[in-house]
Amino acid sequence: MEDWISRTELQRDWISLVFLFNFILLAVLRSKHPRQFKTFIRFIDPKLYFKVYGKDDSLIQSFTVLGTVFLLINLCLGVFYCLTFFEFGSSSFSFFSTLLIHIVGMILVRFVFLKTCCKLLEIDGFSEIFIFKTLSYQIQISILSFILFLFYEFSYPAQEFLLLIIIVITGLYLLSQLSLYREYWSVFKYNLLYLILYLCTFKLAPWILLYSTLK
Q: Is residue 176 part of a domain?
A: yes
Residue 38 within any structural domain of the chain: no
Asked whether residue 181 is assigned to any structural domain, the reply reads yes
Q: Is 68 within the bounds of a domain?
A: yes
Q: What is the pLDDT of residue 199?
A: 57
The predicted pLDDT at position 208 comes to: 62
Please count the structural domains in the chain. Answer: 1
pLDDT at res. 211: 62
Q: What is the pTM of this model?
A: 0.80
Cα separation, 154 vs 133, in Å, equals: 32
The answer to whether the beta carbons of residues 47 and 128 sit under 8 Å apart is no
pLDDT over 70, % of the chain:
71
Render pLDDT for 34-46 as a digit per residue (tens, 0 to 9): 888 888 887 777 7
Say if residues 36 and 140 touch (Cβ distance below 8 Å). Answer: no
Provide the domain limits for residue 86.
2-33+47-214
Residue spans of alpha helices (H) in the chain: 2-11, 13-32, 34-40, 46-53, 62-85, 93-120, 124-154, 159-183, 185-188, 192-198, 205-214
Q: Is the pLDDT of residue 212 over 70?
A: no
Predicted confidence (pLDDT) per residue in 78-133, tens digit: 989 988 887 777 888 888 998 888 888 888 877 777 777 667 666 666 677 877 88
For residue 195, what pLDDT band results from cuts at 50, 70 and 90? low
**What are the φ/ψ torsions at residue 45 (nearest 5 degrees)?**
-130, 70
Position 202 in a domain: yes
Assess whether pLDDT exceeds 80 at residue 186. Answer: no
**Residue 159 within any structural domain of the chain:** yes
Listed residue (23, 38, 11) closest to 149, CA to CA:
23
Angle formed by the axes of helices 124-154 and 46-53, to 10°? Answer: 130
Mean pLDDT, rounded, of the chain: 78
